Structure 1
Amino acid sequence: MLQTEALPPEVRLVSNQHGRRFLQIEHPAVQACIALQGAHIIECIPAGQPPLLWMSPMDPCKPGTALRGGVPVCWPWFADERDGPAHGIARTSDWQLLEARADSTSVHLVLRLPQEDIARQLPDEGWTVKIEFTLGVALEIALTTTHTGTGPQRLSQALHSYLPVADIAKAEVTGLQGCCYIDKLNGATLTQQTAVRFDAEVDRIYFNHNADLQLRSRTDVLDIHREGSESVVVWNPWLEKSRHLSQFPDDGYRTMVCIEAANAGPDGRTLEPGSTHTLKTVISRTSSKQSR
């Protein structure tokens, strides 16, 4: 891991009261926080803007737990596609900081999942994986995987972004009209006819889609750009499921929605030995783009 004395002054390594370690970013352009466990960003607030991410106020951020909110890293499988922990091994593994630098407009960080951790948890597979964060007026996350094994290996993954809304009943996701999706609540494959709106639990994998999306919430608009992704997951637990989620308020569903850059469902990839794939998401606010 990069030594503390090599960090730029805008980046500090801190621990909370429970001993969980974070990279705390304080820069004129952005305030952010990333947990080393899971390479999990839990806060990103561009200067003069509301937060770009939603984080559960009930999560104590204790070591050894998967955090509820921010952007969990689902890797190298999504959901329960394979045996093992839900959403893969990345969320509860400790990552190492390789690079940290800052300029006048942003902070750039690179972390990797140590090879020994991958070998211990996936002894029959060969992977290297790193994640890059560029933090400024926008949040950019790029997850890069290289297959180092000897035969083809399936990869499914997601950047499980929890995004804030003022009122889920008045929020909508645009850019998915005409797109097919798998409804994970009943297994049906359907076509989205209008903007996605919410009046009940939603858990869907949209596929064969790579265009930009917008999350509209009253006067706020978040833009979601993806690269290396032909699928996007849209999720809101609604009331009943919220009551059963760990570290999640009963009414938490009212102020969040997940819009996840993914390689999920039909978009799962098969990597040949030596091949590399990068999944990227960029989250920004329309008003900030117009002001630049």
Structure 2
Amino acid sequence: MTLVLPDCIRHSRNQAGKAFIDIAHPAVSARIALEGAHLLQCTPSGQAPMLWVSPDDPQLPGKSLRGGIPLCWPWFGGDRPQSAHGIARRAPWQLSAAEQDAEGVYLRFELPADCIAEQLPGEPWQVHVEYRLGAAIEVQLTTRNLGEQPMKLSQALHTYLPVTAIQQARISGLDGAAYIDALDDWTHKTQAGDIDFTGELDRIYYGTSAAVQLHDAAHPVVVERQGSESVVVWNPWQAKSLRLSEFPANGYLGMLCIEAANAGPDARLLQPGESHTLGTRIRPANPAAAHVITQDSVQ
């Protein structure tokens, strides 16, 4: 059955042929790539864009996108010897639900079973992602183990956020939290005070589900998490920026990543029939500027 889309949602392609879902709602404009079910852009009405996207990315079919919220699934980083961050970022997802109300839109994407079987033989996963977009961004990535054996799951919502100037940005909410420093031989350390940025930073904070706040002159946001006791904080700084694909040499100055995750010690072991939802909600730091969008409110 063909899915009937609300008037504010339509299919499109860029000049290279990459397929997108475009949202033009009175409360929010957004773009999601069908490859990866990748939320690339989201701008609430009257606000600045909430996500950072590389201006150097040609956004080609079959290629991962640099920016927005890549879905790292069903493994994060180098947890397996295959390509980093799993299969979801390049896979062809299917839009299975699209609804709107006065406050925004709700969309659901599913990764087809035959795609999972082809790329992960012997791993009977089922996975879908839900987006609720309006004054805030809400993402829920739900995985179920359909097999007869336990299966390990690590994952992240690899969120790229804009900042005015990286040297003035800071992150609060993780004082006293343990973290793994990927730049220091994966040493376990403890955060003291706020996080600031004076060089490359790549850390997995774990053992905490607390919300964190990005303090920035033009883009202050709060990042909340669901089903997550780990959060990844990353900025490549200058030298690594030069080695990254589709990334401007000075791109590190205007972005950082705060990623709701199940990473490091927070990787999950899903028993047969068990499901797990990893979620994040990103809202303006001024609580009055955001409104919770729930599936129940979408008609």
Give the TM-score category using the shorter length: over 0.9
Aligned-residue CA RMSD in angstroms? 1.1
Which amino acid in the other structure matches residue 105 of structure 2? V
Partner of 1:26: 24
Deviation at 1:199, TM superposition (A): 0.5
* Identity within the alignment, %: 50
2:81 is the counterpart of 1:78 = no
Contact 2:231 2:261 in 1 (8 A): yes
SS of 2:167's partner is helix
The CA deviation string for residues 130-157 of structure 1, in whole angstroms up to 9 with x for no partner, is 0000000000000000000110100000
Q: Secondary structure at the match of 1:100?
A: strand
Deviation at 1:84, TM superposition (A): 1.4
The answer for the alignment partner of 2:247 in structure 1 is 248
TM-score, with length taken from structure 2: 0.95
Q: Distance in 2 between matches of 1:287 and 1:150?
A: 46
> What is the aligned partner in structure 2 of residue 281 from structure 1?
280
**Which deviates more, 215-224 or 136-145?**
215-224
Task: Give the TM-score normalised by the residue count of structure 1.
Answer: 0.97
Equivalence for 1:200? 199
**Structure 1: 5+ residue stretches without partners:** none
1:66 and 1:244 map into 2 onto residues whose CA distance is: 16
Residue 163 in 1 paired to residue 154 in 2? Answer: no
Cα displacement (A) at 1:288: 5.8
Counterpart-to-counterpart distance in 2, 1:140 and 1:218: 23
CA distance in 2, matches of 1:110, 1:220: 27
Q: Give 3-state SS (helix, strand or coil) of 2:286's partner.
A: helix
**Within 1, Cα distance between the matches of 2:123 and 2:290?**
47
Establish whether residue 225 from structure 1 lines up as the match of residue 213 from structure 2: no
User: Which ranges of structure 2 fall in alignment gaps of 5 or more residues?
Assistant: 292-299
- Which of the numbers 43, 53, 69 marks the counterpart of 2:67? 69
Aligned to 2:147: 149
- How many angstroms apart in 2 are the aligned matches of 1:258 and 1:291? 21
Alpha-carbon distance in 2 for matches of 1:225, 1:134: 14
The separation in 1 between residues aligned to 2:56 and 2:289, in whole angstroms, is 34
- Tell me by how many angstroms 1:83 deviates: 2.0
Q: Which residue of 1 aligns with 2:178?
A: 180
Code of the residue aligned with 2:137 in structure 1: it is: L
> 1:235-254 CA distances to partner (integer Å, 9 max, x unpaired)?
00000000010000000000
Kept in 2: contact 1:44–1:51 (CA 8 A): yes
Choose which of 104, 122, 125 in structure 1 pairs with 2:123: 125
The 1:291–1:240 alpha-carbon spacing in structure 2 relative to 1, beyond 3 Å, is: closer
- What is the aligned partner in structure 2 of residue 213 from structure 1? 212
SS at match of 1:119: helix
Structure 2 counterpart of 1:260, which letter? E
* CA deviations over 1:85-115 (Å, ceiling 9, x no partner): 2100000100000000001111000000000
Aligned-partner SS, 1:270 = strand
**In the alignment, which residue of structure 1 is the partner of 2:12?**
14
* Matched residue SS, 2:122: coil
Q: How far apart in 2 are the matches of 1:112 and 1:220?
A: 31
Are 1:137 and 1:288, in contact at CA under 8 Å, matched by a contact in 2?
no
* Equivalences, count: 290
Helix, strand or coil at the partner of 1:182: strand
The whole-number CA distance in structure 1 between the counterparts of 2:65 and 2:18 is 11
- Kindly indicate whether the alpha-carbon contact (under 8 Å) linking 1:169 and 1:198 is maintained by their aligned counterparts in 2: yes
Q: What's the offset of the Cα at 1:290? A: 4.7
- Residue 289 of structure 1 deviates from its aligned partner by 2.8
Report the CA distance between 1:220 and its aligned residue: 3.7
Amino acid at match of 1:77: W
Q: Deviation per CA, 1:56-96, whole angstroms, max 9, x where unpaired?
A: 00011100111000000000000010121210000010000
Q: What secondary structure sits across from 2:67 in the alignment?
A: coil
CA distance in 1, matches of 2:157, 2:189: 23
Q: CA deviation at 1:286?
A: 1.9
Change (3 A) 1:119 1:60: same
Distance in 2 (CA, whole Å) between partners of 1:219 and 1:120 is 44
Match of 1:265 in 2: 264
Q: Determine if contact 2:95/2:110 at 8 Å carries over to the other structure.
A: yes
Instruction: Tell me how far apart the structure 2 counterparts of residues 70 and 33 of structure 1 sit (CA, whole Å).
Output: 10
Question: Residue in 1 aligned with 2:294?
Answer: none
Within 1, Cα distance between the matches of 2:14 and 2:277?
Answer: 31
